Structure 1
């Protein structure tokens, strides 16, 4: 399958503000006439949303978490993401595989080699063109979460857990600097928004996949 659209993912610990900015980016792109699919993980399909509910509310170990999110991801990729990219649509996804390495890998201490194998099996080479990592201190993110909503199972984790998750994102960023852009999400909203738009310019001029 030839993928002609752009695949952009939004990452960060819970409370980093990525959901706010993904909506804004979708509005900007649609105003420019770009077809956009706005989706999320775990989730994005009826099956994946059911798995999301289990993931967020039922107690389980790290392996079960990883298997659930990759099962949801497989259905999401086959049902929505890959067809949208093939049709030339820009896909904006709230979380993707970097989150699994950060949360289950760094946060839970789960085997990164196993996660890498699952990534290969499920994604078959499909990777984001650009990932925006909204980086914020866990204490700041916790304050935002408390003010915004009732926490789910993951959001109730201790600050030390989110410190490990943050370090996992930092490791992914260091390993893929051409794909992952760190956004200082503790800055003023206007500053964050400007950084996001600047990062989007990274891929605006790239040739379409498969072009000579």
Structure 2
């Protein structure tokens, strides 16, 4: 669900570079020498951009650390670093850096997104859920609520999961949304999000011991997508 985090981070650092170049230019036009910090920051920002262009994440990371040393209070740099760690699948580092960012700016949407996704990848589902809930309060995005509903199910918070699944099923924009799942023939295929939500409701009812309702929602999912593997498997498991 992480939407173009690295691209956004690159834009932010590019903006920083542009601002620094402008500042350096203004100083030079006034016959003043730029400070060492400004010179180094401009150098490392260009180094970061070049490293990303050539897909060298290690060098890009080093450049960001150098930028952070020169500009320790700059949220854009810390966000770029956390996003890069996530892109490199170094989820522990992504979680730590994004947590520092969210600690000093609790409404930083990008920081919350990286933090929530990183914690989920690390298996810290309860902490990830807290971050997704904070993110949803700021964005009201369907994709975030979708994540929340499934994490609530996995954590045994069935009533909340069911409520959020119903909220999602009532949203018009859901009709346009899909996600990739494995088919019964083990291929990857896009399915309407509604299929996954019907399957989720079936799972909740099954956990609560209501076999009839569980079957009803598994069958609803299969009416839309007869090859949806999870609903097939779950339906077969109800009477076992």
TM-score by length of 2: 0.30
- The structure in which a higher percent of residues are helix is 2
- The structure in which a higher percent of residues are strand is 1
Q: Which protein has greater RCO, CA pairs closer than 8 Å, 6+ apart?
A: 1
TM-score by length of 1: 0.33
Q: Which has the larger radius of gyration?
A: 2
